[in-house]
Amino acid sequence: MTSRLPALNDWVDQVAALTRPAAIHWCDGSDEENQALVARMQADGTLLPLNADTHPNCWLHRSHPEDVARVEHLTFVCTEDRDDAGPNNHWMSPADGHAQMDELFEGCMEGRTMYVIPYCMGPIDSPLSRCGVEITDSPYVVANMRLMTRMGALALARIEREGSFVKGLHSTGELDPKRRFIMHFPEELTIKSYGSGYGGNALLGKKCHALRIASWQAREEGWLAEHMLIVGIENPQGQTHYIAAAFPSACGKTNLAMLIPPDAYREAGWKVWTVGDDICWMRPGPDGRLWAINPEAGFFGVAPGTSEQSNPNALASLQSNAIFTNVAVTDDNQPWWEGLDKRTPAIDWQGRAFDPANGPAAHPNARFTVSARQTPSWSEKAEDPQGVPISAIVFGGRRASLVPLVFEARDWAHGVLIGASMGSETTAAATGAVGVMRRDPMAMKPFCGYNFADYFGHWLSFDGDEAKLPKIFHVNWFRKGDGGDFLWPGFGDNMRVLEWMIGRVKGEAEGVDTPIGILPTPEALNLDGVDLTGEAREKLFGVDTDGWKAEAASIGEYLSSYGEAMPDALHAQQRRLAEALG
Ligand code: OXD
Ligand code: MN
């Protein structure tokens, strides 16, 4: 097979000449193709079958033990002008980047099959969607891309119609961390990734295309590509508000996207609909509101911590047709991870008999890949070509101290400052130290494909006369007390905070003006059935003025570190914050 698009055929020919595969397979996305691939991976041990009675058509993949997370220090944005990539990215010139990558790709597919994967990010007939083609030598990548994107014949037809696509070239190479790079060439809509099979490095439709390249495209075309879940909250009157929320990796986005409201809410008729759990593309509609799609078709979620209590919807979706990566297994061969339940696993993520002395049974960044449609809370609106209108944008980080449960921005520009100054403690989703506080603006630190200063400017530019923009909020589910315990129950109880936000959007809920923004009084939130200590009330609903003065100064320094490029409007917002704190 080839395509009717000469530009695509030429590129595939060039890649084949460089990588010298034994065979080329164009993926059509069919069930037969998938079954043949799975059989091949089962035969060579890439996929291990899990208990077919409890988990039909579920598979376990064990990655190389040194290839378990994104590698930010090996991820580059290659632009002609270094300033376009900004201090927030590792930079290389496109010429050097290509030279370095092409040397690695030279002959790397000898003896292997090269797969050509046409895919569409977003509903296949949506004007907001964008297409790409990933070339890879990994059948595991093909199987995951089939769950995560609209992949195959329909995507190819759209690519042929449109004539343009993002080019992604991937090889697992030798899985040698010293020969591993993920490079982006936004000016050429091109990605080259070598030496890793891990999702965020290898499923190029996800972080590489839908965030790094798409954020660049979005700036040129007047939209936003964000690291946000999209959730619909239906009230007892049947009215649904859609909320987009940005959190750093492994901070509970999937849980919030699939939240089950507390009993009293459910009995009253509240429902939660999942549109997306990781990425959101938003564009102003003719009515001035922001309309959003989830460009993905599946979930690549963090397994540890997922349980009947924290996320029953995710668990229900994982009973069949799922790929598990780096989880442990029980003695009857069911997938298992820390936080799932009280059983003791038999085999750890590296295939060894489980021994607590070796550390956790599942890798802390163990993942599941599953089609979004399998989730009980899946929203049919996820397939709507127009997307869904966004009423509120939420920014949130993992902050043990200082930051209250929720506050609202006074206006859009203030909201952009709140997003730009977001901080969070690092997690296992990327290699490196865990638990270190760093600024992670809009949860896009690892994913913004261009200079953050320009990105903030792009955000500010949406505030036009005709715009009917969402309200912006900041939340912190992770505030700890002096004894080190979490002060807020989180999970389903986060519904209480979402209800307040929707009340604010409708002009119904009470808020108190403070120097950092508008906070609910504890009375403005429905806390029926939540037992908060005095310390919790004070810390979750209070503003520590001295602590915030130091925070405001640190935000000022952070903004200044971008030099001249930082928009004055953000400096002005920071000054306003500092002055309000006195
Ligand atoms: C992810 C991540 O996989 O953010 O979604 O790392
Ligand atoms: Mn993510």
With a cut of 80, say whether residue 218 has pLDDT above it.
yes
What is residue 448's predicted lDDT score, i.e. its pLDDT?
Answer: 98
Is there an atom of ligand 1 within 6 Å of 72 CB?
no
CA 403, 409, 414, 417: dihedral to nearest 10 degrees?
30
CB-count burial class (<10 Å; 0-12, 13-18, 19+) for 252:
buried
- pLDDT grade, residue 309 (50/70/90)? very high
Residue 70 Cα: closest atom of ligand 1: 6
Residues 519-538 pLDDT 10s = 998 889 999 999 999 999 99
For residue 431, is pLDDT > 90? no
- pLDDT higher than threshold 90 for residue 428: no
Instruction: Compute the average pLDDT of residues 195-202.
Output: 96
Cut 0.75: pTM above it: yes
Residue 436 is predicted with a pLDDT of 80
Q: Are 216 and 202 in contact (CB under 8 A)?
A: no
440 CA distance to ligand 1 middle (Å) = 14
242 has a pLDDT exceeding 80: yes
State the residue for tokens 């920014």. Answer: 395
Mean pLDDT to the nearest integer, 572-579: 98
Helix/strand/coil for 372: helix
Question: pLDDT tens, 82-100?
Answer: 999 999 999 999 999 999 9
pLDDT at residue number 484? 92
pLDDT band at 1 (very low <50, low <70, confident <90, very high): low
Q: Which two tokens stand for residue 435?
A: 């638990």
For position 521, what pLDDT does the model report?
86
Ligand 2 centre from 253 Cα, in Å?
8
Q: Looking at this protein, which amino acid is placed at residue 391? A: S
Span 543-561, pLDDT tens digits:
999 999 999 999 999 999 9
pLDDT of residue 432: 81
Q: How far is residue 493's CA from residue 314's CA, in Å, rounded to a whole number?
A: 17
Cβ atoms of 329 and 351 within 8 Å: the answer is no
Annotate 464-505 with three-state secondary structure: CCCCCCCEEEEECCCCECCCCCECCCCHHHHHHHHHHHHHHH
In this predicted model, what pLDDT tens digit does every residue of 560-574 receive, in sequence order?
Answer: 999 999 999 999 999
**Rounded alpha-carbon distances, angstroms, from residue 257 to 34, 175, 261, 276, 412:** 28, 33, 11, 7, 24
Does the Cβ of 300 fall within 6 Å of ligand 1? yes
Instruction: Mention every residue, 6+ apart, whose C-beta is less than 8 A from residue 123.
Output: 129, 150, 293, 382, 383, 384, 385
Ligand 1 atom index nearest CA of 429: 6
Q: Do residues 489 and 540 lie in contact, with contact meaning Cβ atoms separated by under 8 Å?
A: no
Q: Does the C-beta of 70 come closer than 6 Å to ligand 1?
A: yes
> According to the model, what pLDDT value does residue 335 have?
98
Q: Which residues belong to the active site? A: 251
Ligand 1 atom closest to Cα of 300?
3
CA distance 396 to 233: 18
Q: Is 248 in the pocket of ligand 1 (CB under 6 A)?
A: no
Nearest protein Cα to ligand 1, atom 4? 249
40 CA → ligand 1 middle, Å = 28
447 lines ligand 1 (CB under 6 A): no
Ligand closest in space to the Cα of 279: 2
pLDDT of amino acid 434: 81
CA 167/CA 494 separation, integer angstroms: 40
Mutate to test the pocket of ligand 1, among 63, 209, 227, 249 (most ligand atoms within 8 A of CB): 249
Q: Is 127 a residue whose pLDDT tops 80?
A: yes
pLDDT tens figures, 388-416: 999 999 999 999 999 999 999 999 999 99
Residues 99-113 have a mean pLDDT of 98
Q: Which two tokens stand for residue 393?
A: 């944008």
Rounded to whole angstroms, the Cα distance separating 517 from 581 reads 11
3-state secondary structure 422-437: CEEECCCCECCCCCCE
> Ligand 1 centroid to 200 CA: how many Å?
6
- Residue nearest atom 2 of ligand 1, based on CA coordinates: 249
The response to whether residue 278 sits with its C-beta less than 6 Å from ligand 1 reads yes
Query: φ, ψ for residue 358 (rounded to 5)?
Result: -85, 5
Pick the residue whose CA is nearest to atom 1 on ligand 1. Answer: 249
Mutate which of 63, 68, 70 for ligand 1 pocket (most atoms within 8 A of beta carbon): 70
Mean pLDDT over each residue of the chain, to the nearest integer: 97
d(CA 540, CA 500): 14
**Of 246, 219, 215, 37, residue with least CA distance to 121:** 215
Give the mutation target among 63, 300, 326 for probing the ligand 1 site: most ligand atoms within 8 A of CB. Answer: 300
Please report the pLDDT score of residue 250 as a whole number.
82
Q: Work out the average pLDDT over 229-258.
A: 96
For 502-507, what is the mean pLDDT?
A: 98
Confidence of residue 2 (pLDDT cuts 50, 70, 90): confident
Q: What are the DSSP calls for 138-197, one per residue?
A: -HHHHHHHHHHSEESHHHHHHHHHH---EEEEEE-TT--GGG-EEEEEGGGTEEEEES--
Q: Is the pLDDT of residue 435 over 90?
A: no
Q: Does the pLDDT at position 119 exceed 80? A: yes
232 lines ligand 1 (CB under 6 A): no
Q: For residue 109, is it left (φ>0), alpha (ψ between -120 and 50) or beta?
A: alpha
Cα separation, 183 vs 168, whole angstroms: 10
Atom 3 (ligand 1) nearest CA = 200
What's the confidence (pLDDT) of residue 91?
98
